[in-house]
Structure 1
Amino acid sequence: MAPKQELPDLFPGFETRTFDTSGGSIFCRIGGDGPPLLLVHGYPQCNVMWHRIAPALASRHRLVIPDLPGYGRSAIPALSDDHAAYSKRAMARTLVELMDALGHRNFSVVGHDRGARVAYRMALDHPGKVNRLAVLDILPTLDYWLKLDRPFALKIYHWAFLAQPAPFPETMIAANAAAFLDHTLASWTGAKSLDCFTPEALQHYHASFEQAERIAATCEDYRAGATIDVEHDQADREAGRKIKAPVLAVWGQSGIAPGAETPLDVWSKWASDVRGSAIPGGHFVAEENPEALLAELLPFLDSDHAA
């Protein structure tokens, strides 16, 4: 369902298109020239989180910027007891179908937050598709749950809250969705404020949280993260499967990822070719510190030009 109000366009010159996939219709923005690059947003946001870095990336890449299933303007899969439609495996498959529909048989992926979980699952499940993988301020889902001691649990309390059985968390959020959203966004930034988010981007984020069915969808995303996603990660860990594509991990110095082990140490257990570093800021690196993020992303992605 599309938001009721007309929302500002933060991607001038980009196409907006909707594609049918096995996971429902996917809304996306497309623009730029060069090797294909898929940008995947996280919670509690949508495709517009990339608007600060999209112009620089579009000068060197063909960008595909979707809304994940259940988020933004994409279709809302039905909730289920096994949460399978919101597994990162299902979402990854949906986005591979999207890229296939656009004629991109191979591509690089940059993901943030939940979108980074979709991105690394895509690299594990579809190794022939992903050329290069960048993950922003996350560690793998299994590692987060294994690390959940007292300090880290307080930092990511929402993992357990949002994963509670329906309709408890969505009912609580809907009581004052705007306040919940603003608190979540601000509390995960380095400055503990909304200052890094443009008013136009905040309009988009609030438009989604005005829709009860999208609040439910995002909770279902976290229910999958507490169940089926962990099972998929555990199976890969036990089988010794690793990500074949080169991996860039970037995290905010006061973001969420540093709350667990050293990020590069963790990612080296999941991939053979890993690099990356922290940059100043909190969790929302693409909006808090776009220049520093681009300084990490562009050299990493540049090798696609030789492909």
Structure 2
Amino acid sequence: MFEGFETRTIAGEGAEIFCRLGGDGPPLLLLHGYPQTGAMWAPVAARLAERFTLVVPDLRGYGQSSRPESKNGEGYSKRIMARDMVAVMAALGHERFRLAGHDRGARVAYRLALDSGPGVERLALLDIVPTAEMWCAMDAASALKSYHWPFLAQPNPVPERLIAADPVFYLDHTITSWTKGRSLAPFAPEAMVEYRKAFAQPGAVHAMCEDYRAGATIDCENDEIDRKAGRRIAAPTLVLWGEHGTPAAGGDVLATWRNWCESVEGKSFDAGHFLVEEAPDETGAALERFFA
């Protein structure tokens, strides 16, 4: 994966952030989601690297990045994780950049866009709606489909100890259940090796639970503050989602994002949650067109 890319570890906002770097052109930051690493971008990296300078980090708590101590989600709010990314891009000389995120990475991305304003030139969000919208709309059906949201947010150490009984089983089950075909077939073996190794590292599950604890409290509160203040994402925004994923089941995805963005466009693909792996050609083409 990522042939021709270099790797570096760069200081974030209190975390050490592992990054893959490659390509040529305007800077484009690509953020992964749960329970993956930056390796998820491999299916589209070569295509995008022909036109952009790619920065592909592991978020704090994930992959090869550090896992700062945290309690009740305080160290893993999307605002803090976004500041990691701003620090990384500044260290690389990029004060302004394009930004795409999937899943939790998309939540970091839209928080970064809200907080950093003109630093984000264009924004792409893959298969999410805002955190506050998710919690407000959660009913029995969506709670069953997205059970991990309340489960991972339970007080430490309940989810940590339950997942620790067989972390690789939990990882594989989670990823499989979010694809259209309920299969690991869309994922490269090299990527799965990386995900499993990272997920089983000491402290990794706790860090990811802290991410979700922040999502249930701090992140949701910050979203509500912005919503009440009428604060909106200024950067032109592209929203992509899977026809068989959670956002699609919740209603009109673009209509939801129009309440949060000054300018938004988007489309769905015949896929589950993992657009980059399940529909790499369509997703890569859409990102290339939008960011170019």
Which interval holds the TM-score relative to the shorter structure?
over 0.9
Q: After TM superposition, list the pairs within 5 Å mapping 1:105-184 onto structure 2.
A: 105-184=95-174
The structural deviation recorded for 1:218 is 0.3
Pick aligned residue for 2:242 from 237, 252, 262:
252
The answer to whether residue 191 in structure 2 is matched with residue 201 in structure 1 is yes
The structural deviation recorded for 1:259 is 2.2
Which residue type is aligned with residue 206 of structure 1?
R
The answer to whether residue 69 in structure 2 is matched with residue 74 in structure 1 is no
The answer to whether residue 101 in structure 2 is matched with residue 101 in structure 1 is no
SS at match of 2:8: strand
1:17-62 CA distance string (max 9 Å, x none) = 0012222111000000000000000000001000000000000000
CA distance in 1, matches of 2:105, 2:43: 17
CA distance in 2, matches of 1:96, 1:164: 29
1:167-197 CA distance string (max 9 Å, x none) = 1001000101111111000000000010001
- Whether contact under 8 Å (1:107, 1:130) holds in the other structure is yes
CA distance in 1, matches of 2:97, 2:149: 30
Give 1:286's aligned residue: 276
- Whether contact under 8 Å (2:120, 2:235) holds in the other structure is yes
Task: Give the share of equivalent positions with the same residue, in percent.
Answer: 53
- How many residue pairs were aligned? 292
- Whether contact under 8 Å (1:189, 1:283) holds in the other structure is yes
The structural deviation recorded for 1:63 is 0.1
Which residue type is aligned with residue 147 of structure 2?
Y
Give 2:228's aligned residue: 238
CA distance in 1, matches of 2:276, 2:190: 15
- Whether contact under 8 Å (1:23, 1:85) holds in the other structure is no
CA distance in 1, matches of 2:242, 2:285: 14
The answer to whether residue 3 in structure 2 is matched with residue 12 in structure 1 is yes
Which residue type is aligned with residue 145 of structure 1?
W
SS at match of 2:55: strand
- Whether contact under 8 Å (2:97, 2:120) holds in the other structure is yes
Which residue type is aligned with residue 67 of structure 1?
D
Which residue type is aligned with residue 113 of structure 1?
D
- Whether contact under 8 Å (1:89, 1:118) holds in the other structure is yes
CA distance in 2, matches of 1:186, 1:22: 33
Give 2:39's aligned residue: 48
The structural deviation recorded for 1:296 is 1.4
The structural deviation recorded for 1:260 is 1.7
SS at match of 2:184: coil
SS at match of 1:11: coil
- Whether contact under 8 Å (2:63, 2:199) holds in the other structure is no
CA distance in 1, matches of 2:212, 2:85: 19
Give 1:6's aligned residue: none
SS at match of 2:190: helix
CA distance in 1, matches of 2:71, 2:141: 32
TM-score norm. by structure 2 comes to 0.99
Pick aligned residue for 1:29 from 1, 6, 20:
20
Unaligned stretches of 5+ residues in structure 1: 1-9, 303-307
The answer to whether residue 256 in structure 2 is matched with residue 266 in structure 1 is yes
Give 1:3's aligned residue: none
- Whether contact under 8 Å (1:174, 1:212) holds in the other structure is no
Pick aligned residue for 1:213 from 203, 213, 230:
203
Give the CA RMSD over aligned residues: 0.7
- Whether contact under 8 Å (2:12, 2:83) holds in the other structure is no
The structural deviation recorded for 1:258 is 1.0
SS at match of 1:127: helix
The structural deviation recorded for 1:212 is 3.1
SS at match of 1:296: helix
